[in-house]
Structures are given as C-alpha cells and as structure tokens.
Amino acid sequence: MHRVQLHYTLSRDAGNALIRNPLPEMLQAVAEQGSISGAARALGLSYRHVWGALKRWEDQLGGELIIWGKGQSAQLSEFGTKLLWAERQAQARLAPQIAALHADLERAFAVAFDDSTHVLTMYASHDDALGALRANAATPGDGGAVHLDIRFTGSVDAIRALNEGRCTLAGFHTLEEPAADSLAARTYRPLLQPGRHKIIGFARRTQGLIVARGNPLNLRTLADVARTGARFVNRPLGTGTRVLLGDLLAMANLTPEDILGYELNEPSHGAVAQAVAAGTADVGMGIALAAHARGLDFVPLVHERYHLACLKSTLDQPATSALRAVLQAPAWQALMRAMPGYAPMHCGEVLAMSTVLPWWRFSGRKRDTSPKQKP
C-alpha cells in the first residue's frame, strides 16, 4: 500500500496552490504539452530533470506513467491518468479543509514573524474567562500583543506540563483558603515547589451546582444532592473541580458513594451544563458562566482562586511580562467583573506561595521543616 506524506513550504511567495505535489504537476504538463520537452518548458525545468523525475516515480510507484506510440506524442498511461484523477478528486473534495489548514498555518507563522506579538503557551484547567483573556490579549497593548496558545486540560496535568517544559504557564484553582490536610494540598503540594515556581494572580470565581431552570429538585447543598438521589455528572480525574468536589464532600461528611453518578464525567464546565440542559443529568459542579450561557440556574457553593503558575526562570521573560501587563490593565479587569461569577483578584500580581497556598509555612527566609503529611 502506498502512503501519502504531506509537507508545506515556508517562503515569501509560496504560490497559490493549497497542496502541491510535483508528480501531478508533471503529469498535467505532459498531458497538455504532448511531450517531455514541452512539459519541461512549461514547468521551467530542464528536459533531463523531468525525464529523470518521471523515471524515479515509475520505479517508486511500480507502474508506467508515460507511453509513446510510434509517430505519436507522449501520453499518460492508464496508471498516470488515474493518479492525476485521484489528485483532482482529493483537491476538490478536501478544498475547504485544506483552505482552513492553510489559513491556520499562515496565521500561526504571521504571529512568528510579527516582532510586536509575543507567543505564550498555557496548559490550564477549563475556564471560560481564559477564552476571553485570549481574545483581549491579542490586541496590542503597552507590552505588545500576546498570542495565548491555550490547551485546556485538568489542573494536575497542567502543572505537570509546566514541570515538563511543555508550557510557560499552568492554570489551576483551589479554595480561597485550602486546609493543610485537604485533598487540594495532597494533590498540588508534590507538584509545586517554593523557590522553583511562582504564582500569578488571576481571578476569584464561584463554583456551585448547575441545575435545571427553576431548580425543580430544590438542590441547595451537596447533602441535598445525596438525599434526593439527584443524577449527578462529575468532572474527570485530575481536574481541579474533581479535587474541589472531594474536599467539599469531606466537609459535608459525605463520600463519593453517596452521590448518584459520581463516576460519570464530562470534560468541561460547558459539557456539564449541556448534560443538565439535555436532561441526562439533574445536577453537576461547575461555574456560573457555563450555567447562564445555557439558560440554567446556578446555586453558588464556594469561592475559589484561579491561579496561574510559572517557573521562576520565566517570570521576567517578555511574553510573561506582556501578559501580566494585560492582566493588570483596567480594561481587562472591567471585562472580567462583567462575567457572572468572576472578579479579578490580584490580577497579574506575583503572589507569595505561602499566602495563596497556605499549606506551606515559612519562618523568615527559611522553609518550614516540620513533618509533612504524605500525599
């Protein structure tokens, strides 16, 4: 079986073709010109080059491409004609997808060649405000525009990606004052190290119960969810909301077994809200913005902080500094305040880890050496 390999050309003038392949171009030229020499002139190549290339293609593909009859011009073989037909079919059928891919590549490289735009890769727990931030940061400000390449994943995976060098920023969230023995502490403490990591403030947001309009089951607490047997939809393992739910269940003296549907999950706040809107679940944990976007009701349970973590070594890099400038701008903070369930909280400021993640305690400049609970 012959396989297809794709490549693209990066140059000041790459031409108008969306996907180019030299073989169909040569076959088309031979078919139109009736000779190798005519095809070579039409393509601006030497006869020797075209002849040699066609022979190499015949060897590689295992079939004759060009035939000559006595006293007749060069013609495509049946195999050559079918190859040219396959090329035309693929180009015609895939034209919209190819055009979209072409545009995406050109946009990406336009950013690379724009000296006024910074590129910053972020892995982050799903958050609708980050989508708004991406659009806002693309507008040039005092520090230049920032192209935010955001990959939404769980909080745990986001910090791991940061530690493995796959991103510059990691977005994760915790209760405003997580306890030293909380699930959040046991989850994030092994991943973040004072002295190596820095925390940049982003937002205070509200998490709660996403329920149907009118809250027909009158769900006000997780205890209500357990008592009524309401069908719950969860978030996957490794997400910050799943960690948060674990802490809230412990505070309410509940276990996962008390929640019907605890093992079922959806990949985002929006997907949780959609499950409730579609009637496949009665309730799920999520943010107010996702509930309101789908005409659902929202029962607030807790306030939490959404943090942006980076390595200390990247804190002063131009892209990070430019994003911090965006975060501290009054225009962005006003936009965040208008989002249901959000408020800027030390937005863009570098915060003491012992303050925002208080399971770390320091004495002066020395790290606390008291025994730590194993995660």
pLDDT band, residue 369 (cuts 50/70/90) = very low
- In this predicted structure, the answer to whether residue 361 has a pLDDT above a threshold of 50 is yes
d(CA 94, CA 114): 30
**Is 33 in a helix, a strand, or coil?**
helix
pLDDT of residue 126: 87
Q: CB–CB of 160/148 below 8 Å?
A: no
- pLDDT in the model for residue 32: 92
User: Which conformational region is residue 71 in: left (phi greater than 0), alpha (psi within -120 to 50 degrees), or beta?
Assistant: left
pLDDT at 4: 73
* Average pLDDT for 292-317: 96
pLDDT for the residue 14: 54
Token pair 């997400």 in the structure block, residue: 239
**Confidence band, pLDDT 50/70/90 cuts, at residue 87:** confident
pLDDT band at 13 (very low <50, low <70, confident <90, very high): low
pLDDT band of 208, cuts 50, 70, 90: very high
- Residue 69's pLDDT is 67
Q: Is 335 exposed, middle or buried (0-12, 13-18, 19+ CB in 10 A)?
A: middle
Q: Left if phi > 0, otherwise alpha if psi is -120 to 50, otherwise beta: which for 348?
A: left
Question: Hey, what domains does the chain have and what are their CATH numbers?
Answer: 22-107 (1.10.10.10), 114-367 (3.40.190.290)
State yes or no: pLDDT of 22 exceeds 70: yes
Query: Which range is least confidently modeled, 60-74, 117-131, 186-200, 332-346?
Result: 60-74
What integer pLDDT is reported at residue 90 of this predicted model?
A: 80
Structural contact between residues 51 and 66, judged by C-beta atoms closer than 8 angstroms = no
More confident residue, 114 or 130: 130
pLDDT at 139: 84
Confidence check: pLDDT of 151 > 70:
yes
Q: What is the pLDDT of residues 159-171, one digit of tens each?
A: 999 999 999 999 9
The per-residue pLDDT for range 220-233, each reduced to its tens digit, is 999 999 999 999 99
